[in-house]
Amino acid sequence: MRHKVGQRKLHRTTSHRLAMLNNMVTSLLEHQAIRTTLPKAKEARKIAERIITLGKRGGLANVRLAARTVKDRDVLQKVFGEYKDRYANRPGGYTRIVRLGFRRGDAAEIALLELVDRPEKAAPVDTEAAAAPAEETKAE
């Protein structure tokens, strides 16, 4: 049995791995969903859930702890504002991993890492219908 095992090394040096995971978590919190390989998604999920928990607790000390990972100030404000309210009644499990299949080039398993309860994207705007009234006003 592998007791007290840390994290996956992902074939990278420590500094490279930490920087990559911090960037992935920042992107996840900014865009609410990212597409990556399954092992990277599993590692990023641990960090993202901890950051959201810090956001729920609030306070200056927790802001500073979260700022170690999330370097973008706008994303940090989003964590301590929008996500704090959204996940106030949820006791954990803020992310979801959806397996998407295998990458064509190297057959790596790809996954979608997303925040649960994220708002659905707005319906795409029909560009032809939007352009038609503008042309009519030019003709007059």
Band of residue 2 on the pLDDT scale cut at 50, 70, 90: confident
Residue 124 vs residues 11, 43, 88, 130, 135: alpha-carbon distances, Å = 40, 33, 31, 11, 21
User: What CATH number does the domain containing 101 carry?
Assistant: 3.90.1030.10
User: 71 in a domain, yes or no?
Assistant: yes
The number of domains in the chain is 1
User: 7 in a domain, yes or no?
Assistant: no
User: 123 in a domain, yes or no?
Assistant: no
User: 27 in a domain, yes or no?
Assistant: yes
User: Measured between alpha carbons, how far is 45 from 56 in angstroms, rounded to an integer?
Assistant: 16
User: 20 in a domain, yes or no?
Assistant: yes
Q: Which domain holds residue 59?
A: 14-115
pLDDT at 98 exceeding the cut of 70? yes
User: 134 in a domain, yes or no?
Assistant: no
- What confidence tens digit (pLDDT) does each residue in 20-71 have? 999 999 999 999 999 999 999 999 999 999 999 999 999 999 999 999 999 9
The DSSP letter of residue 72 is -
Mean of pLDDT values over 76-94 = 96
User: 100 in a domain, yes or no?
Assistant: yes
Predicted pLDDT of residue 38: 96
Q: Say what percent of the chain tops pLDDT 70.
A: 86
User: 129 in a domain, yes or no?
Assistant: no
Burial class (CB in 10 A: 0-12, 13-18, 19+), 26: buried
